[in-house]
Amino acid sequence: MLRNDFYTPEVQGDYRLHGLGDFELEEGGVIPDLQLAYATYGELNEAKDNAILIPTWFSGTHQTWEQVYIGAGRALDPSRWFIVSINQIGNGLSTSPHNTDGPVAMSRFPMVTVGDDVRAQEQLVRELFGIERLALVVGASMGAQQTYEWAVRFPSKVLRAAPIAGTAQITPHDVLFTQALMDAITSDPGFAGGEYASNADVDAGLRRHAGIWCVMGLTTTFWKTEFWRGIQVGDTTFDSREDFVTNFVEAVYTAMDPDALVVMGRKWQRGDVARHTGGDLAAALGRITAKTFVMPIDTDMFFPPQDCADEQALVPGSELRVLPSICGHWALFGWEQTYLDAVDTALRELLDTPV
Amino acid sequence: MLRNDFYTPEVQGDYRLHGLGDFELEEGGVIPDLQLAYATYGELNEAKDNAILIPTWFSGTHQTWEQVYIGAGRALDPSRWFIVSINQIGNGLSTSPHNTDGPVAMSRFPMVTVGDDVRAQEQLVRELFGIERLALVVGASMGAQQTYEWAVRFPSKVLRAAPIAGTAQITPHDVLFTQALMDAITSDPGFAGGEYASNADVDAGLRRHAGIWCVMGLTTTFWKTEFWRGIQVGDTTFDSREDFVTNFVEAVYTAMDPDALVVMGRKWQRGDVARHTGGDLAAALGRITAKTFVMPIDTDMFFPPQDCADEQALVPGSELRVLPSICGHWALFGWEQTYLDAVDTALRELLDTPV
């Protein structure tokens, strides 16, 4: 095991672990004693019909959801809903290459799929809370992949679904994008085939990884308008583009575990609900019975609205709600009140829709 | 000097060299005996008023213009116009790190700016052909940077200007994009600070560079529709995405000289006509007297139409002509007849406009 303070409760906020035992994976192999890191907000009611599940995005944790999307007076209000946010396998909090010993440590970590995550999440909410049906699954980016997977794999368990800024089936463009992200890391000699002694050994590769995110995660308008001047992270503000790149984007990614990012990148590349239907996307999305709002971000450069709309058209009874932002994909960080209001408006309407 | 067959006439088609003598650079330093590689099409008339100048884009040469944009019956018809296409400094054909010895070889190549290129081009057309006024300057991408530089620096010499898919002032997003491109190359241990023995030593870095181009140069729609199935390069067609990536994108970039790409990348980052006006972009673009058509590509991910339109609004008497494509920036390769027709229609109208 490698020590990495970034994944501690001191940095990420409180979370708990739930052990699922030895967990068999779709593409072969087993994760011994799989631990999922999760956090809950609110109380499960007696009927157990007020549960909302939130999976996490690439490199993300439950914490951003807690800070940006959940709260009193918000659509995701813990006074009304019992919200469970579960960190995806390999994200650094749940069982991941750096925080386990033995047969799946570091470069030996097996290939994990979005389907594995969703099966594990289903087991967790059933075992821990006895939840058989979810009022809503909502996730963004890779969380949208998991949201679609939930709705296709367990139609009777998902009453409503809100995939934000993501697709049910990986696009070829996203395969190339994620490959460029991973190549930036794995090409660093310090990566040593995934057997580095510290994430600091991969500092240069992680910075290049961060550099590609600056280009694809944020739009030309974000940079041109110096939107970063209005961003505050804790007590920190930024007084130049270089300051923002170095002390926000690079600082975050260099704190992360390289193997974790690679595990998530490979998982992202394989996200495809059509695995259930012999490659027939329409058939897979046709299985969804959840009331579904498909919510792309209008300026997203790698999950553009058109790709999301193409899938939405295949989901029975679904609706398209395009979220406004000048930031691109990283609108997800919630820097714009107009964006947050649009998310809340859509989620409120979805949650108020009888199913 | 390193041998690199990619830059020979056998690969690039015929070109000539013109020596400008020792050439002083804007940011300091001198290129001894600067050679510009150029090609001409058509005949200069007696009045010398039918000359069109075409600068080249990042990693490009005169050849693509020759094959894709110039021809009988096209807007750029050599039976009517005398067309001079000049390869930018450092592109591998004109004086470049790998094809020179002595004080500016390899990693010692100095910083070159778009302004240096335009001054050198002006000297070439004056010395060789006695051209004092150009009927048109047309260039794309970094060629658009040079087109704007021509129109701002030499207003009396440029009657018409057509910057395609590029900007007069580098955007912050493009600084980050070009940095990611260069970092992919320079981080390769084989790059050896620019002192590799062969471009093959930097093969891995050049492939990562190509991988980023796949993400930013081509759109999600290009990949999703498998547009590459219809692309023919010489006698070669492609039967899978991997085939296209490996045998077109990677094949082209791995054949190039790494130092050349870095010289052009740094030049791209510094492209800014406001260098003439103390940073005042409006003042710089206000100097333009050329009749100007600003021609962005509608799906371009790093020179998006809005950025180009923002500048067009500052060019007196200019017009915006958005070019249609599903390919993004690499529409420039001319794979779509609708795109080529739109280019020709705009250039014909521009060339027919009395000035």
Residues in chain A closer than 8 A to B174 (CB atoms): 220
Q: How far is A211 from chain B (nearest CA, A)?
A: 6
| A188 lies within 8 A of chain B by CB | yes
Q: Catalytic site residues of A?
A: 141, 300, 329
A112-140 average pLDDT score: 98
Question: Minimal Cα distance from A219: which residue of B?
Answer: B173
Residue B36 in domain = yes
The range of the structural domain enclosing residue B328 comes to: 5-170+271-352
pLDDT of residue A234: 86
| Cα Dmax for chain A | 55
Residues in chain B closer than 8 A to A179 (CB atoms): 211
Q: Determine whether the interchain pair B215/A187 forms a contact, defined as Cβ–Cβ distance below 8 Å.
A: no
Q: Hey, how many other C-beta atoms are within 10 angstroms of the C-beta on B170?
A: 18
Q: Determine whether the interchain pair A173/B224 forms a contact, defined as Cβ–Cβ distance below 8 Å.
A: yes
**Spatial distance between the Cα atoms of B22 and B31, rounded to a whole number of angstroms:** 6
Residue A226 in domain = no
A325-340 average pLDDT score: 98
DSSP string, A162-193: EEES--SB--HHHHHHHHHHHHHHHTSGGGGG
Residue B176 in domain = no
| A129 lies within 8 A of chain B by CB | no
Residue A13 CB partners (closer than 8 Å, separation 6+): A39, A62, A63, A66
- Domain of B41, CATH number, reads 3.40.50.1820
A250-264 average pLDDT score: 98
A120-124 own/partner pairs: CB under 8 Å, 24+ apart: A120/A20, A120/A23, A120/A34, A120/A36, A120/A89, A121/A36, A121/A53, A121/A55, A121/A86, A121/A146, A121/A150, A122/A150, A122/A154, A122/A157, A123/A20, A124/A18, A124/A20, A124/A36, A124/A38, A124/A84, A124/A86
ipTM for this prediction? 0.96
Q: Hey, how many other C-beta atoms are within 10 angstroms of the C-beta on B298?
A: 15
| Interface test mutation site (partner A, options B174, B176, B214, max chain A beta carbons within 10 A) | B176
| Interface test mutation site (partner A, options B170, B173, B246, max chain A beta carbons within 10 A) | B173
Amino acid at A144: A
| B242 lies within 8 A of chain A by CB | no
Interface A-B: count of C-beta contacts within 8 A:
93
Residue A184 in domain = no
Residue A103 in domain = yes
Residue B244 in domain = no
Residue A119 in domain = yes
How does pLDDT run across B203-216, given as a tens digit for each residue? 999 999 999 999 99
pTM of the model: 0.97
Cα dihedral angle (A114, A119, A120, A126), rounded to 10 degrees? 140
Amino acid at B176: L
Judge contact between B135 and B50, C-beta under 8 A: yes
* DSSP at A157: G
Sheet holding A291-294, edge to edge: A16-19, A35-41, A82-86, A51-55, A136-140, A160-164, A291-294, A319-320
How does pLDDT run across B63-110, given as a tens digit for each residue? 999 999 999 999 999 999 999 999 999 999 999 999 999 999 999 999
Residue B172 CB partners (closer than 8 Å, separation 6+): A220, A223, A224, A226, A241
pLDDT of residue B234: 87
Helices (H) and strands (E) in chain A, counts: 13, 10
How does pLDDT run across A201-229, given as a tens digit for each residue? 999 999 999 999 999 999 999 999 999 99
Residue A112 in domain = yes
**Parts of chain B with a pLDDT under 70:** none
If one counts the domains in chain A, the total is: 1
